[in-house]
A and B are shown apart, each in its own frame.
Chain A
Amino acid sequence: SQQGEEDPQALSIQEGENATMNCSYKTSINNLQWYRQNSGRGLVHLILIRSNEREKHSGRLRVTLDTSKKSSSLLITASRAADTASYFCATASGNTPLVFGKGTRLSVIA
Chain B
Amino acid sequence: GAVVSQHPSRVICKSGTSVKIECRSLDFQATTMFWYRQFPKKSLMLMATSNEGSKATYEQGVEKDKFLINHASLTLSTLTVTSAHPEDSSFYICSARDGGSSAWAGELFFGEGSRLTVL
Query: Which residues of chain B are within 8 angstroms of A90 by Cβ–Cβ distance?
Result: 108
List A residues 12-64 near B (Cβ within 8 Å): 30-31, 33, 35, 40-45, 48
- Given contacts A40-B113, A42-B113, A105-B41, A96 and B107 within 8 Å (CB-CB): no
Question: Do B111 and A95 have beta carbons less than 8 Å apart?
Answer: no
Instruction: Give the bracket for the number of chain B residues in contact with chain A.
Output: 20 to 34
- Given contacts A30-B105, A94-B104, A95-B104, A42 and B43 within 8 Å (CB-CB): no
List B residues 85-119 near A (Cβ within 8 Å): 91, 93, 95, 103-113, 115
List B residues 1-49 near A (Cβ within 8 Å): 1, 4, 6, 34, 41-44, 46, 49
Instruction: Give the bracket for the number of chain A residues in contact with chain B.
Output: 20 to 34
Question: Do B104 and A43 have beta carbons less than 8 Å apart?
Answer: no
Contact of A42 among B1, B42, B104, B111 (CB under 8 A): B111
